[in-house]
Amino acid sequence: MYSIVSSPCGDEMQHLTQPEWVAIAAHRLQYRWRSVNPGQLEDVATELWKDEHLSGLDPAQAVDTWLTPILPPPPSTR
């Protein structure tokens, strides 16, 4: 289990090391995929870190951005 439970904001995010960023992203992935092995989620988070666009984002935002294509669409308001 990961001990980091919140994502840093603003300037704090710029000071994250790669292991910190990966831990936060892996925690966010675990929130979405509770049945997946935490080690596998850390591997996925490491791959996200390697993506230049995603690693420039807050870790939780990066995970949400990466997951966007597979999230269900919002309910219709018709």
Average pLDDT by stretches of 10, the chain with 78 residues:
45 77 97 93 97 96 89 68
Other Cβ atoms less than 10 A from the Cβ of 70: the count is 7
pLDDT at 53: 95
Nearest to 63 by CA among 39, 46, 77: 46
How much is the pLDDT for 31?
A: 92
Question: First-to-last CA distance in the chain?
Answer: 42
Give the pTM.
Answer: 0.71
pLDDT of residue 6: 47
Cβ-proximal residues to 9 (8 Å cutoff; 6+ apart), any chain: 58
**pLDDT in the model for residue 71:** 60
| pLDDT score at 78 | 63
State the virtual CA torsion across 19, 60, 73, 52 in degrees, nearest 10.
-60
